[in-house]
Amino acid sequence: MPVPFVLLVVSICAAWLPPLSVAKLRVHPWAVVYAVAVVAAFVQGFLQVSAVVALIVLVALALCVTRATRKVMYWLAFALLLLLCLALALHKVPGFNNPIVIDGVQFSPDAKPFTQYLNFDKGSVGLVLLALLSPKLRRGDRVGRLAAETAAGYALTTVIVLGAALASGLVRFEPKLPAQALLFLATNLFLTCVAEEAFFRALVQDPLRGMRAGQAEPGGASWRAGAIVAIVVSGLLFGIAHAAGGTSMIVMAALAGIGYAAVYARTNRIEAPILVHFGVNATHFLAFTYPALKG
């Protein structure tokens, strides 16, 4: 993995570190590492000037969302942030030269060829939303209970999604450990699962259940009334986001998205849906046809 992307992964991990006091300033480790990652990516040709400008605007809009005191300013910044995140995640912003790391590989004889990119644009969306707008583990949280709820969510979502995929003939049980497994899993966790969960929880599910992005805890009648709607709608939108894989993939992704949203609604911690999402993807990759059977 090229150095800029290693630094991007490190900055994602650093999102859980507390800020440091340097000359009376609060310095966030993730921001420092990310700045170095952006510079390195620009020097090595993975980013052009337009991409760097877009990433600066991304951070600025996320900060505006966290600091806006007036509703009008909050929702304006939120709308612009949502549009920019969509454009970056869908690779519609020019100036990103994302390298291919797995190119048209068939992991089993009857599987569709699979290609994987290292996406600096989508990974940056995940980092910024994770660091600035997503409720993360805090001191005093009941970690044992969170782990149990995450494990239960993973087990239930995996059985439903992969069981449905098996029943529909989309995949077969095909255990494997390809040479590309470590690269695939690391890329999937940090540049896919983090990005998709941070986006769908902070910018879709939270607003639908009556919470402002970055709010620490749910509460109030509006949240209770909208919780189920938020789970279902965010799950359906997650399915639609996978439309490129066809109708069957939309259905499977929607089922998975509902599972991830339910885990988040239960825990209100971003770590839970990220780990469930990664667990489902890893199980699919290691134990079943990936990404799907031909035809």
- pLDDT one-digit tens code per residue, 124-155: 999 999 999 999 988 888 889 999 999 999 99
Amino acid, res. 266: R
Print the domain residue range for 97: 3-287
Residue 222 predicted with pLDDT over 60: no
Residue 292, in any domain of the structure: no
pLDDT tens by residue, 150-184: 999 999 999 999 999 999 999 999 999 999 999 99
> Residue 213: which pLDDT band, with cuts at 50, 70 and 90?
low
Q: What is the arithmetic mean of pLDDT over 232-256?
A: 90
pLDDT tens by residue, 13-70: 999 998 888 777 888 999 999 999 999 999 999 999 999 999 999 999 999 999 988 8
| Cα–Cα distance, 166 to 173 (Å, whole number) | 8
DSSP letter at 115 equals E
Q: In terms of Cα–Cα distance, which of 41, 20, 46 is closest to 32? A: 20
Q: How many separate domains does the chain show?
A: 1
For the chain, give the percent of residues with pLDDT over 90.
Answer: 78
> Residue 3: which pLDDT band, with cuts at 50, 70 and 90?
very high
Residue 138, in any domain of the structure: yes
Residue 36: per-residue pLDDT: 97
| Cα–Cα distance, 255 to 13 (Å, whole number) | 28
pTM, two decimals, is 0.92
Residue 269 predicted with pLDDT over 90: yes
Residue 295, in any domain of the structure: no
Residues ≥6 apart with Cβ < 8 Å to 147 = none
Residue 294: per-residue pLDDT: 87
Residue 217 predicted with pLDDT over 60: no
Q: CB neighbours (10 Å) of residue 68?
A: 16
| Cα–Cα distance, 8 to 37 (Å, whole number) | 6
Residue 122, in any domain of the structure: yes
Q: 26 has which bridge partners?
A: 21
Mean of the per-residue pLDDT values of the chain: 91
Residue 220 predicted with pLDDT over 60: no
Residue 110, in any domain of the structure: yes
Q: Give the CA angle between residues 48, 66, 127 to the nearest 5°.
A: 40
Say if strands 25-27 and 20-22 run parallel, antiparallel, or are unpaired.
antiparallel
pLDDT tens by residue, 74-117: 999 999 999 999 999 999 999 999 999 999 999 999 999 999 99
| Cα–Cα distance, 186 to 172 (Å, whole number) | 24
> Residue 228: which pLDDT band, with cuts at 50, 70 and 90?
confident
